[in-house]
A = this chain, B = another copy of it.
């Protein structure tokens, strides 16, 4: 069929094993021999057969990525993440096998079938039904998100609690002491990756630590509810000067309504958010906030999971510290 390692060996006048060692670098080979082999490889256009390699070495150089491919609000972020995983995987000379979120047996299939060396799972929920199957596989797995019971699985996520604290502290450092908070609907707090709960806690803690008052309001992100949430905040405390928005979908509506209702941003109200930088930046008033670094999370995920492939290192959970980008939607009180 195509050119095999035996062809290369013959062409270079060495044995098959020598060619293999030249290619893998796992034994020292003298410079002249190595040169002959490399020349033969080039001349014949040799490419090792991935299946044969996988069979003999128990390594495939492929990682599985389970991603939510349904069209949704945050498609852009998902793409960024997927691209980040592919890029980073290539950096380690790995390819990426794409599985969809709803292919519940997908991980099991590719894992048990030894098609991949490791598995990255996006969008993990607090009580995720896939975890059990994942834990049984011999491939290391990394989860994006923080389930209640990670067991022996690694996790990466943004440190939402720190993000909540940082968001509030940014406001209190500017002197704001009467704060509003637009969060997620209760349903998200249950499911989700617990990020909502963690963020809430960070917000509350920091407000208390700074001696600031805090009015919170859930919001599903619709234009109506967003407007209503803003009004509810100011009804509860008309003197609010700082607002934290942890709801990508609502962000635009909240800002627009603040301005439209005679509360210009940042002149009357300072606004801080957590979101992908692109989302925060493209609002009518660009919004200062904590960036969700999709690509960085992707990189870290791949790094972590590949580190575990042949090391017997234990699982680990890593929370990335968010960084705040000032886009001018806040200003000192007074």
Contacts and interface: CB of A to CB of B under 8 A. Distances in A.
A14 to B, nearest CB: 22
Given A2-B112, A47-B112, A71-B83, 10 more contacts: A48-B113, A50-B115, A51-B52, A51-B60, A51-B114, A55-B55, A69-B79, A79-B79, A97-B98, A98-B98
7 contacts: A50-B110, A50-B113, A50-B114, A51-B51, A65-B98, A95-B115, A97-B97
A311 to B, nearest CB: 18
Contacts of A103: 90
A120 interface: no
Interface in A56-77: 58, 60, 62, 65, 69-71, 75-76
Interface string A29-58: 000000000000000010111111111001
**Would you list the 5 A-B pairs with minimal beta carbon distance, nearest first?**
A51-B54, A69-B83, A47-B112, A51-B55, A98-B98
Contact of A87 (B83, B100, B278): B100
Contact of A96 (B47, B53, B97): B97
A78 interface: yes
A260 to B, nearest CB: 18
Nearest to A93: B109
A96 B98 contact: yes
Nearest to A70: B83
A187 interface: no
B95 A49 contact: no
Interface residues of A, number: 44
A184 B71 CA distance: 26
Interface of A: 1-2, 45, 47-55, 58, 60, 62, 65, 69-71, 75-76, 78-80, 82-83, 86-87, 90, 95-100, 103, 109-110, 112-115, 138, 278
A82 B83 CA distance: 13
Nearest to A47: B112
Interface of A, helix, strand, loop or mixed by DSSP: mixed
A55 B52 contact: yes
Contacts of A82: 69, 98
A95 B82 CA distance: 16
Contacts of A98: 65, 82, 86, 95-98
B65 A76 contact: no
A1 B1 CA distance: 31
A2 B138 contact: yes
Contact of A75 (B1, B52, B79, B90): B79
Nearest to A58: B1
Contact of A99 (B1, B48, B95, B100): B95
A19 to B, nearest CB: 16
A159 B100 CA distance: 30
Contacts of A62: 97, 115
Nearest to A77: B71
A79 B71 contact: yes
B80 A71 contact: yes
A1 B183 CA distance: 48
Most-contacted residue by chain B among A51, A62, A75 (CB, 10 A)? A51
